[in-house]
Structure 1
């Protein structure tokens, strides 16, 4: 007989409050469910071999009906009447009510029944006890369930069973409560009840929740040692391995599953709740059994030849094959989806093809996994092909499928396609695909489309995250830059945009991140908003450890605004906070020295760079050259240029253009020709600025033929040898074309970020139009030969 435990021990304060208000912790509970009551609950004639009193049985039916209709007060009244009757009551008279309470679940009415049974002196039995525990566990009342389990005295008809502990273990696992799991396992060990297959499955779920792959492998090995695998257990293991990204073991388990199906020794049963369950349990394995350390390896997996497999329908007869097919489809789908993170497109395709060969029609989720891995490895075109195949089979894709294709399109900068696939999503609330489209808009500098994308997020109630706002600051933080300098109007518009974005961040309770502040500082600097720049620098210093990169953005913006003294103060702050300047910092401050014309300070910064392990680069020499040219010291500028060339560093056109620009202003053709000769010998391609400075200088001096020849040579040098060899015919057609659309076709290259190619072709077309023959062999040019001869001894 169950010990007379006070209800106060079971009804802890939280549950007593729920009991008084009629609330239950588990939100999935449905007291007002309108499901049809099973026939066996209506007029039961016997309960587990015990005859049922017609009057009591009728009351049971009325109580279940009342609970089913949500009439709790009437159910309580009927329960009170059944307990005040003259008929002898046994625990089995409450079984059907408890079964309903366990299915719903209704833990509060279970406790009311428990109180009634205790008041009437009705002894609990295992069946009622199990149903009570199930109802409490299903509703999330773990403490009460443990109390009910531990506060009952063992009798011949009431004692601990493995089924009860598995219910407790499953509920503890479902709530990811390690404390309750450990408590349950300790009780099982103390009671010497051992483990059965369901115990292992519940422990498997916990290992997955905790992302403990080694625990899953331990369970896999121990299970294989004591039990034979069946379809349900293999399904659970495949699910576990795929969730923890162990693709190799998941494939082994899947092979084992397919082989088991074709051996035909699999059996499946369906529970009262229409769930597939393990049909037969072997003898439970004690906790204290000695394990052979030599048998800890994984079970031997039976291999099968995919070329000789038959359709599942030919191996098993209907309806058994329907259930087996369902297990196989779920397992194949899990493994296919597990191929996405490692980008194993070949395995995913092989499994997908094998599903079809087995006669298993792939599900939407299987297509989703295959499309996602194909997009990652091969691009969005393959994904669209599979999507069209789904449409042919009248399968509606998941929103995640459309999202994956949209992301692939965004990464390939196909914005129209990306937006079109976003429009096909029904209820996808993840901001990631929208962020990828915003990122593509930022890359292509299309803020107008970005406004439309963000507006769509608002319309569909897709919650933005910090990545969204980082991209918004990058897209909309500046107005005129980089095409024009900031002015009063553009700065006012930038301020309005920034305030609007920050207000939206506040509404969504999102704080600035390092990246969002970095993008914001870059936007403010590009518009020349110095006060705002310094304000947000202080914000960054207060919220984060800004680090050298943040200070570099601020320093660069200050130099661009000729705020050299403010830059020096910020640099001192950087040093005082213990941050170590890098090569970018030093180059920026060397550039700052050109404003104050302090060559000595620049030399000191160069020495500091070398001391910190940063050898001078092209940008360093560019800043030093700019500094000496401020006093028109061309000799020192050329010495620095020669030093840069001898150091073997990666040179760029900016360094040469710095000298050419000043020489052009001073009409120093000799300096220009020397620099151009050195540029040619070092293999540095000129850019449009180089062509402009050199051509203008020759024209201003009246050397028109030389100007055209130099322009032709420089324009050809702007094109790489690979481009010339590959597209020479196309280039010539464009250069010599007489139609009015030729120049428009050249300008179209700007859209593909090929500005230098477009400018070079337009220059060559102009040279051809004025009658100069185009020769791709620039070494034969008289201008190139003269430059080389003139400067060979310099």
Structure 2
């Protein structure tokens, strides 16, 4: 370290240490007797030491300077005492020492207050600044430019903007216009949240003909961004480029402003201009003592010497494909992204993923000498300073991270590749934004490949990036990978709780409470506090034990009560109150387990505790309760609850009316169901296919099969698209009656309506043929319906047939397990269909991927027109 720098550091350290009262005569005059007596006893043991130090300092100064210099040194020491007193919060002592400084016989200058004013500007402490200004006015001391800056910053930051404006007015009247511009900029920086103060400052700047510098434009940009005024940012850009050739720092400010306000078009243009400027090496930067990049050129209004015409902002500029899309307000392009992907086969997805990885990895082979393909960059960043590259990288990051919010993955990819082309290495922050863009635009598979490329380059991802990847895999129900990414987080923070909540939600969907317990144990070990969303998921995940496969019993009821008590006790320990969603999940859990009394008790608790519930939320809770009561065949309680709901004036929706119509099946009473349908229509609720399915169940409960068929005709006449559920209801009853010809007619209706069958459809059909001892027909029907479960499109079956046939005819001992693993958890129908086809092949049936060529399918198609009872559209 240089001797001069070492001396400067020792000097600053000496000024920051609060020295005790000294024995020197000149310093004793700076304190009144009362102050000396008060502190002398407390620090008597240090007095000799500090007296010697100060004496040596003053004697050293006396050897080289005259008496005024010694007075200046004493004033500086006094400033250090005052500042240290202010830091400790001892304003009374600071005021006394300031008064002593005023009463000194030595001539004071503006520099004798500079250190105090600098501290007051940082604190801020406007009241102490006003005291100093009074002293300077009494002593007729001229305020220096540096002190004007400190005073302006202290007054403005402390809320005394009017006093600061008066000071600026006086300054503008007595000083040259160029000298006061930095002080006006300080005022704009400190009061940018107040539009009135900004307007007053601009008026005074115009009145004094101060003009604007790059810093002025940067401060006004901050004001415009805080107000969300995109048109003002465009006006500032036009005004700035009219008088300036903006530096790379100013361009970076504009890129950040435009990207923050969602105008990616303008941000992209200015970014290209920054690349050109960085490649020309005409803008030099320096790093200040506060680690901030500053331009070394003079900040004075000069016309631009060279304009890059193809980078000028014009409204009709033709942008590449990433910008083609939605237009924002005021005519500016806010977000633009076409559809990024279409439904593809597994093989094409694999090829696309492999190609994507090769493109992303290609950046490692790009040297510093490569340039932009479009020819706009005439020079590269090979010899650009590190500070210039850093600022350029920040601007790329600004746009890429805004692409995350605007869901513009294609533009993020283009920017990412251009960084490689110009020799600008992406940082961890760049990868963080890019991976989040890819995650939203292309899915978790592509994002996972990007992070693999990132780690291969030796760049460790942020914990927030890992959390985002875990959330993406949790939403796609890839819980193994989601858990792995959660385990890689090095520093757990409270804001990462949403990643754990997403994983617990995935465990709830997949019904994997054991996996959830592992993560909960890790959360407790890491002292990660849950939030209300965590408990909402826990009530849904652990609130029942038998659903949906078994009926509840006394043991399961006791287990559920114990679990819920533990969760509620943990909520109480963390001082978290129930929300509407947590109470709804809790009531649903009791209802699904068949614990009717507990469910009704918590319904009353919810109405008393959640006082801020709106009528629609209460109606939602009553709908859950009614569904559980009807499922438990508690008819009278369901009717009484529905009457209470109507008496309270709560709105009933289509789902609630549908549940009550299904309740009429237990009576059975079609007249009551018709009355409910009338009430439903009167309340403005439109019946759905589920409503007609419930009405159909009521008719079937009364053994009115013909009426059920008529009701299905009415449903089709009303233009309501049927689903597989309403057909399965008819198939169930026809199977119980042994009416095979009706089953075959319904199956052909399903096929002609292009509705895919499900497992229940296959079960009712197969059982009907087996009950009639038509075994070969049962196997043939099972094979045809299984293929229709995979797809109703013959071309799709033909394309997938070769790959699926290998799974079906596999002779491996774990072939069934391979079939289950080949499909995701949401493709249960495909798994069931392949297992059925494997069983058919095992008993000797030939697998044909042309189900329409089956004799059974032909017979149903030929006999449908002659014997059909149903008219399909």
Q: Which residue is equivalent to 2:542?
A: 476
| 2:672 is the counterpart of 1:655 | no
Task: Check conservation: 2:688, 2:720, Cα contact below 8 A.
Answer: yes
Task: Check conservation: 2:221, 2:233, Cα contact below 8 A.
Answer: yes
Measured at CA, do residues 300 and 199 of structure 1 come closer, stay the same or move farther in structure 2, by a change above 3 Å? farther
SS of 1:237 mapped into structure 2: helix
Q: Which residue is equivalent to 2:260?
A: 243
Tell me the TM-score normalised to structure 2 length. Answer: 0.71
Q: CA deviation at 1:384?
A: 3.5
Q: Which residue is equivalent to 1:420?
A: 484
2:382 and 2:82 map into 1 onto residues whose CA distance is 43
Q: CA deviation at 1:248?
A: 1.0
1:631 to 697, 702, 727: 702
Q: Which residue is equivalent to 2:12?
A: none
Task: Check conservation: 2:114, 2:147, Cα contact below 8 A.
Answer: no
| 2:771 is the counterpart of 1:756 | no
Q: Which residue is equivalent to 1:397?
A: 461
SS of 1:401 mapped into structure 2: helix
Q: CA deviation at 1:758?
A: 3.7
Q: Which residue is equivalent to 2:77?
A: 62
Per-residue Cα deviation, 1:265-324 (whole angstroms, up to 9, x for no partner): 535466564534465344699xxxxxxxxxx987999x995465323354x6xxxx3333
2:423 and 2:852 map into 1 onto residues whose CA distance is 67
1:133 to 145, 151, 154: 151
2:119 and 2:453 map into 1 onto residues whose CA distance is 46
Q: CA deviation at 1:534?
A: 3.7
Task: Check conservation: 1:193, 1:284, Cα contact below 8 A.
Answer: no
1:680 and 1:88 map into 2 onto residues whose CA distance is 104
SS of 1:311 mapped into structure 2: coil
Q: CA deviation at 1:123?
A: 2.0
Per-residue Cα deviation, 1:28-76 (whole angstroms, up to 9, x for no partner): xxxxxxxxxxxxxx99x99xxx998331233245346667888978988
2:82 and 2:199 map into 1 onto residues whose CA distance is 35
| 2:170 is the counterpart of 1:170 | no
Q: Which residue is equivalent to 2:855?
A: 781
Q: Which residue is equivalent to 1:434?
A: 500
Measured at CA, do residues 201 and 764 of structure 1 come closer, stay the same or move farther in structure 2, by a change above 3 Å? closer
1:53 to 65, 68, 91: 68
1:223 to 237, 240, 247: 240
1:785 and 1:554 map into 2 onto residues whose CA distance is 47
- Residue pairs, 1:187-202, within 5 angstroms: 195-202=212-219
Q: Which residue is equivalent to 1:88?
A: 107
- Residue pairs, 1:439-454, within 5 angstroms: 439-454=505-520
1:284 and 1:116 map into 2 onto residues whose CA distance is 41
Per-residue Cα deviation, 1:560-582 (whole angstroms, up to 9, x for no partner): 12223333344345545555544
1:647 and 1:299 map into 2 onto residues whose CA distance is 50
1:327 to 385, 391, 397: 391
Measured at CA, do residues 407 and 197 of structure 1 come closer, stay the same or move farther in structure 2, by a change above 3 Å? same
Q: Which residue is equivalent to 1:14?
A: none
| 2:635 is the counterpart of 1:564 | yes
Per-residue Cα deviation, 1:594-643 (whole angstroms, up to 9, x for no partner): 11211112223334555667665443333233222323333333443455
- Residue pairs, 1:759-770, within 5 angstroms: 759-770=832-843
1:189 and 1:371 map into 2 onto residues whose CA distance is 47
- Residue pairs, 1:291-690, within 5 angstroms: 306=375, 308-314=377-383, 321-427=385-491, 428-430=493-495, 431-462=497-528, 464-505=530-571, 512-537=578-603, 539=606, 542-547=611-616, 549-576=620-647, 581-609=652-680, 617-644=688-715, 649-665=720-736, 672=743, 675=746, 684-690=755-761
Q: Which residue is equivalent to 1:233?
A: 250
1:77 and 1:673 map into 2 onto residues whose CA distance is 103
Per-residue Cα deviation, 1:367-409 (whole angstroms, up to 9, x for no partner): 2222222222223343344434433443333223223333333
Measured at CA, do residues 52 and 280 of structure 1 come closer, stay the same or move farther in structure 2, by a change above 3 Å? farther
Measured at CA, do residues 52 and 323 of structure 1 come closer, stay the same or move farther in structure 2, by a change above 3 Å? farther
Measured at CA, do residues 415 and 77 of structure 1 come closer, stay the same or move farther in structure 2, by a change above 3 Å? same
Task: Check conservation: 2:152, 2:164, Cα contact below 8 A.
Answer: no
State which drifts further: 451-460 or 70-79. Answer: 70-79
Q: Which residue is equivalent to 2:337?
A: none
Q: CA deviation at 1:233?
A: 2.0
SS of 1:341 mapped into structure 2: helix
Gaps of 5+ in 1: 1-41, 286-295
1:758 and 1:525 map into 2 onto residues whose CA distance is 30
Measured at CA, do residues 203 and 738 of structure 1 come closer, stay the same or move farther in structure 2, by a change above 3 Å? closer
Per-residue Cα deviation, 1:445-491 (whole angstroms, up to 9, x for no partner): 22332333344444445454444443333323332212223333333
Per-residue Cα deviation, 1:308-367 (whole angstroms, up to 9, x for no partner): 5323354x6xxxx33333322222222232222233334333333433444433332222
Per-residue Cα deviation, 1:497-529 (whole angstroms, up to 9, x for no partner): 445445555565655555444434433322223
Q: CA deviation at 1:247?
A: 0.9
Task: Check conservation: 1:749, 1:757, Cα contact below 8 A.
Answer: no
1:151 and 1:713 map into 2 onto residues whose CA distance is 90
Q: CA deviation at 1:235?
A: 1.9
Per-residue Cα deviation, 1:671-723 (whole angstroms, up to 9, x for no partner): 55665565566565544334444544555555555555555555455443456
Alpha carbon RMSD of aligned pairs, Å?
A: 4.5
Measured at CA, do residues 462 and 116 of structure 1 come closer, stay the same or move farther in structure 2, by a change above 3 Å? farther
| 2:792 is the counterpart of 1:726 | no
Task: Check conservation: 1:126, 1:157, Cα contact below 8 A.
Answer: no
Q: Which residue is equivalent to 1:275?
A: 292
Task: Check conservation: 2:543, 2:586, Cα contact below 8 A.
Answer: yes
Q: CA deviation at 1:591?
A: 0.8
SS of 2:867 mapped into structure 1: coil
Number of residue-to-residue matches in the alignment = 729
SS of 1:543 mapped into structure 2: coil
Task: Check conservation: 1:196, 1:284, Cα contact below 8 A.
Answer: no
SS of 2:494 mapped into structure 1: coil
Task: Check conservation: 2:110, 2:144, Cα contact below 8 A.
Answer: no
1:361 and 1:682 map into 2 onto residues whose CA distance is 56
